[in-house]
Amino acid sequence: MSFLFRRTHALLLLPLLASCSSLYFPPPPQVPLLTQKGEWSGGIHTNFSQNTAVQGAYAFTDHLGVMGSASFLHTDKKKRAEDHDFGEVGLGYYTRLRDKRVLEIYGGYGLGHTRRVERTPAEGITRTLEGSLTKYFAQVNYTSKDKKTYHVLGRDWPVTYGTALRLSYVTLTNFRLDNQPHASEDNVFLEPITYTRINLVGPLDFQLISGSNFGLRHRKYLKAANSVFQFGLVVNVGGQSGGK
């Protein structure tokens, strides 16, 4: 179990290493791990930057699933106020591998709005940035390890690990800098992540998501500068038995 605590401690340090200068705050890649028709998955995640996401997925056939999420960030601090709202939907294929592993492949679309107000105590508002976001993405999810059980606090805690890789094309349009039109930007983001699920009770799991965000193009306002780290709760109902 000490390995798990060391891993968790490392994950908690990631947000402190990330800059917050980008106008794009990536929602956590969704990993519903669907296994059969009629199964649904739901979850809620957040991080220390207050970037919160509500997610859901449903398997409408034995190999096709749909997922959607809504994320939002609203903060008002001394030097900066952020308002970021984003939603996305995806359609994909899933299959069970060797009974205890799940492979999912999704493609999807997202859109949202972002606004930042920068200020100093002496001068007040110094800059306002605002624009619309559009996103196309492809994503692969894979549970790469069998479930392990740790005995702590007088009970067993089943733990599973997995990986996901998301490739996103994001555009910033209708961009205004200090209420004046500004050139649009676009970027391609590569987001490899790992996730750890700790079973709490029944179908309810606590989940940690940690990863990196790489911008494949050099941009000033739309770059990979915000953390992919998230923690939250997930639930799966109606799936096949066996670890996943």
Other C-beta atoms lying within 10 Å of the C-beta of residue 102: 21
Q: Give the separation between CA 183 and CA 180, rounded to whole angstroms.
A: 10
Q: pTM for the full model? A: 0.85
Q: Give the separation between CA 216 and CA 97, rounded to whole angstroms.
A: 32
Q: What domains does the chain contain, in order, with CATH numbers?
A: 2-25+33-237 (2.40.128)
Nearest to 38 by CA among 68, 62, 55: 62
Answer yes or no: is pLDDT of 147 > 90.
no
Q: Give the separation between CA 83 and CA 50, rounded to whole angstroms.
A: 11
Q: Give the separation between CA 217 and CA 214, rounded to whole angstroms.
A: 9
pLDDT in tens, 6-64: 444 444 433 333 344 799 998 889 999 999 999 999 999 999 889 999 999 999 999 99
What is the b/e burial string over 29-50, where b = at least 16 CB atoms within 10 angstroms of the residue's CB? Answer: bbbbbbbeeebbbbbbbbbebe
78 three-state secondary structure: coil
Q: Which of 162-171, 200-209, 234-243 has the lowest mean pLDDT?
A: 234-243
Nearest to 233 by CA among 82, 106, 54, 68: 54
pLDDT in tens, 165-194: 999 999 999 999 999 999 999 999 999 999
Mean of the per-residue pLDDT values for the chain?
Answer: 87
DSSP-derived letter for residue 244 is -
- 132 within 8 A of 91, measured Cβ to Cβ: no
